[in-house]
Amino acid sequence: MTVTEKNYIAIEGVIGVGKTSLATMLAERLDARAVLEEVEANPFLEDFYKDRKRHAFQVQVFFLLSRFQQQRDLLQRDMFFKRTVSDYMFQKDRIFANVNLDEKEFALYDRIATALEQQIAKPDIVIYLQASTEVLMKRIAKRARSCEKNMDPEYLQTLNEAYNYFFFHYTEAPLLVVNTSDIDFVEDTDYVTDLMRMVEQHSAGTLYYTPIGGKSDERRKEAR
């Protein structure tokens, strides 16, 4: 399978890891449609970061329905773009729901999410961007979104662990796991070129790698 046959590429990772920047660059290079999550459109988000327990269900349901609408539109291929690059995948919603909702809230959420998931297209390949919590906090501070000014490092660490757990068990599509703690795709586009090469080559299982130019160029393929 080549890049041109991988018509739906999804990029995932914790808040601040660089998903949107990479998705935008890949879409430009592949002449693809970029589908970017409208995070700041969520009216409950700023209140959520001030009091997560109180506003968790509202923020989660808004994201679930917003992501569903965007992802359902992917089934209607744009006549001008054969390929799509998204800066999230629909399944990410469950990661946040598991972290933020209590038992009763999650039970109700699960009923809604399960019905919606049946109508969502699955990616042809997923790129999971990793970074340490310390690096994520620095990147979040640098981009200075108003809704993230009260970001709790402990919450971010919990999300980091939840993401790692989810993708360690992920088998629904070929998966590239990229440690970005020492990589800046925006500042050094050679990393993007190398990543595109690996997207083209990788067709099954999980591949852990650091793009050429990083501190470590070792690659290890793990078949699952």
In the chain, the DSSP E strands lie at 8-13, 33-35, 84-86, 125-130, 175-179, 206-209, 219-222
Contacts 24+ apart (CB under 8 A), 182-191: 182/210, 182/214, 182/215, 183/210, 183/211, 183/213, 183/214, 184/18, 185/18, 185/21, 185/22, 185/25, 186/18, 186/21, 186/25, 188/213, 189/25
The one catalytic residue among 31, 78, 87, 182: 87
Residue 87 designated active-site? yes
Which is it for the CA torsion 37, 38, 42, 46, positive or negative?
A: positive
- 18's torsion region: left (phi>0), alpha (psi -120 to 50) or beta? left
In 81-216, the DSSP E strands lie at 84-86, 125-130, 175-179, 206-209
Q: At what angle do helices 153-168 and 92-100 cross, to 10 degrees?
A: 130
Paired sense of beta strands 84-86 and 8-13, if any: parallel
Active-site residue set = 87
